[in-house]
A and B are shown apart, each in its own frame.
Chain A
């Protein structure tokens, strides 16, 4: 009975906050105005990126500053489809302005929605996979990994700006309004609601995927890799495979978020995929709490709502507030808000165990007590063979 209670309590603690979020997300369309709903939808796509980043950084210890790039690639992939849809028989307007007469060959297949979706997911994952494989194989770690991913992000966003005729340059891909999705106009509230629900659903899916991954042995090894990579190697594992897989997965998650971002915001440009957005993504996770997944989601929502609140109320100096918020949280909650909450409740529980529940239990929380040897007699080999254990 008691064990059952304990189990249901643990289940509640595990899934309760997520259920609450899910209910809020599902009810939001009834309460929010169109503008606020599309804003929430945008923030939810950011939360998806944050979950992916938490997987690779919080659990795997690899600080990728390239998540914005993967987000952008996913977004561009789907935007290409929408742009072609919106342009009808003509070539996209920015190509026309740049003097192109016909659709470039690599734009052609993006007329098929399925191809666009698959490509938008697979290309970033492949890019991360190949890059990751070579980096991890040469044992590039820590800050060098961050710098290389950042360099790649910078390089790609500059390159996208330069290729005006093929990417829309600085303006990016925009004017998607006349595109149609499932027979509905992209700007119709049906389509917008649909994309909102799809985003909420994807966020939950990605979160559950993350939970499953991190609680599996794969996840434990990922944490082990973060703590001591060479040790993992000497335990017979190839870190390259594990790290590459996680990097590719987090890239794919970011790309998914990018794909969902475009139809709700209506534009993708190099400024959404560059160095600064990539760093902002790191801020969300750091603020919410690393290696908690839920913290990443809350961090993404909190920072973006904070940003929008400050920018609406104090348009001149809002960035100062955001900076102060970040500095403050790093100073006072180095493990993020959720991490601070967690350790606070753990401390409370220790105190409760000490004073109220079982005074004897509190002894075992003192580090000194762990020096006592457990009274276990080692079985001899002959006993073990008799026991049929070998």
Chain B
């Protein structure tokens, strides 16, 4: 499940001509956007470009005024509830870390692992595979020796990793991350970058990011949004040199 077939390119997420407007302001304006299976894609853009709205639409949180979002070849996102979409393999991490502060790190992972079981089976203990999966994930996110600590007292970066771990134990096929390195130290950012690259071997990942240095260091393919539309898309080196991108970013910076 976590190893994707690379030789047959298929779209894991297909955003088709989507428009979202809030009181006349078009947050997304006829956006076409797609991700292949197994891809690690960065989405960047200045404030108000529609990055978070894109994630909201992709997870069914916001319904588009027109257009469609298709997940994994056949799932129309608009027809799903939040939790059924997650059960079908689409997970999302919100911008602010929202781990459960009163539970320990381990319990946070434990609480998320059984999301596909019938409710009453949550009364039994974990299976051996589930325990192994949690320990695996703890090692991956680097919180093995913090597993008994209450999540509420973790440092900001650790919370973000824990939350990524909570999504990983659910073995999603597409992971959407909203500004995962916001507010992190340089060291934490680098570790998060490495974490994202190793996650990308298991599932498709979309990272919405603001931090250009982080994008330069860890991205391969980048999509640039501007005013709810796609400005350009391609390898990070090309995108960086693109005149329109430079203009959008610099123009904004001095505005």
Contact = CB atoms under 8 A, between A and B. Distances in A.
A231 B142 CA distance: 23
A379 B92 CA distance: 24
Contacts of B81: 233, 238
Interface in B101-122: 101-103, 107, 110-112, 114-116, 119-120, 122
Nearest to A387: B136
A221 interface: yes
Interface in A208-242: 212-213, 216-218, 220-221, 223-224, 227-228, 230-231, 233-238, 241-242
Residue of B107, B111, B132, B146 contacting most chain A CB atoms (<10 Å):
B111
Interface residues of B, number: 56
Nearest to B107: A220
Contacts of B194: 378
Given A370-B153, A371-B155, A373-B157, A381 B115 contact: no
Contacts of A371: 155
A191 B155 CA distance: 60
A216 B3 CA distance: 31
A220 B198 contact: no
B191 interface: yes
A218 B107 CA distance: 11
A234 B2 CA distance: 20
A390 interface: yes
B115 A220 contact: no
8 contacts: A213-B123, A218-B120, A220-B107, A228-B100, A234-B91, A236-B86, A370-B149, A370-B158
A224 B122 contact: no
Given A236-B115, A237-B83, 15 more contacts: A216-B123, A217-B110, A217-B114, A220-B107, A220-B110, A228-B100, A233-B82, A234-B86, A370-B149, A370-B153, A370-B155, A374-B142, A378-B140, A379-B140, A390-B2
A102 B202 CA distance: 72
B198 A378 contact: yes
A256 to B, nearest CB: 20
Nearest to B132: A389
A5 B120 CA distance: 34
B111 A378 contact: no
Residue of B81, B100, B198 contacting most chain A CB atoms (<10 Å):
B100
A223 B151 CA distance: 13
A233 B83 contact: yes
Contact of A218 (B122, B167, B201): B122
In the complex, which range does the number of interface residues on chain A fall in?
35 or more
B123 A234 contact: no
Given A236-B116, A380-B198, A389 B110 contact: no
A245 interface: yes
Contact of A373 (B87, B102, B123, B188): B188
B154 interface: yes
A363 to B, nearest CB: 14
B153 A231 contact: no
B128 to A, nearest CB: 13
Interface string B1-25: 0110000000000000000000000
A235 B142 contact: no
Given A373-B188, A378-B142, A242 B119 contact: yes
A379 B166 CA distance: 18
Contact of B139 (A220, A370, A376): A376
